[in-house]
Amino acid sequence: MPVHIDQQGPVAVLTLDRPEKRNAFDGALTAALDAALNAFEDEPALRVAVLTGGTQFFSAGTDVVAWAGEPTPRGGPYGIAGRRLQKPVIAAVEGIAAGGGFEIALSTSLIVASRTASFSLPEVGLGLIAECGGLFRGPRALPLNIARELLLTGAPLGAERAHALGLVNRLTEPGRALPEALALARQIAERAPLAVRETLAALEQLYADNDERGWALTQAAKIVVRESADAREGVAAFKERRAPRWQGR
């Protein structure tokens, strides 16, 4: 299975396991993460989930050869980016969280990262846009100009600066993101489950209207960009490992 589930008392650890592609998402990984999150949300004994990609990397985003499959009914893109979380989910990030990988982290409730982690939205380098929440969750989690820079340049944001800017909740030494995320998860799991659930629901609802507008604006931009010559060129150049030749159309 491309997603392993390990129950540790009231905490579920969900581990992405497609190492040969640095946990880049194809349809099978999207379906597996969706199923794992559905099982977590539907099991009353589980109160918090930790999502990890392991000790080397979190996720390289979409597999641009296979693509990430269709959005799921409950989870949306990647099985999580469109999900209205019913229980807290904590991202434990080691290494890269690029493109969709960063958007997945932005979809969670909290982020724990090691000092060697990095976050990026490199889609413009492929002639594409951040399609799975980055356009509106990025500016929500970061100062606007920082988010704008990431979206327009595709440059990475290191974990230490991300922590200083408030994106990352807890910063750890390399290899310690998962243990720290588990400690945070257990701290939450010790609190009253109804109070935690209703607090999370209120926070989710607070941004629901903005999210709907954000998805609509993203879809409009996606339609324009996906049909462009630059998008075809960007993806082709990536696959062929060469510099793209942009046409601006």
Q: State pLDDT tens for residues 99-125.
A: 999 999 999 999 999 999 999 999 999
| Mean pLDDT, range 151-160, rounded to an integer | 98
Q: Where are the domains positioned within the chain?
A: 3-194
Identify the helix (H) or strand (E) that includes residue 12.
Answer: strand 11-16
Lowest mean pLDDT among 163-167, 187-191, 226-230: 226-230
pLDDT at 1: 83
pLDDT at 59: 98
Active-site residue identified among 41, 43, 94, 103: 103
| Mean pLDDT, range 60-67, rounded to an integer | 94
Q: Are 84 and 74 in contact (CB under 8 A)?
A: no
Q: What percent of the chain has pLDDT over 70?
A: 100
Mean pLDDT estimate for the chain: 97
Q: Are 105 and 119 in contact (CB under 8 A)?
A: yes
* SS3 assignment, position 200: helix
CATH architecture of 3-194: Alpha-Beta Complex (3.90)
Q: Active-site residue 103, yes or no?
A: yes
Active-site residue identified among 20, 41, 70, 123: 123
Read off the pTM. Answer: 0.97
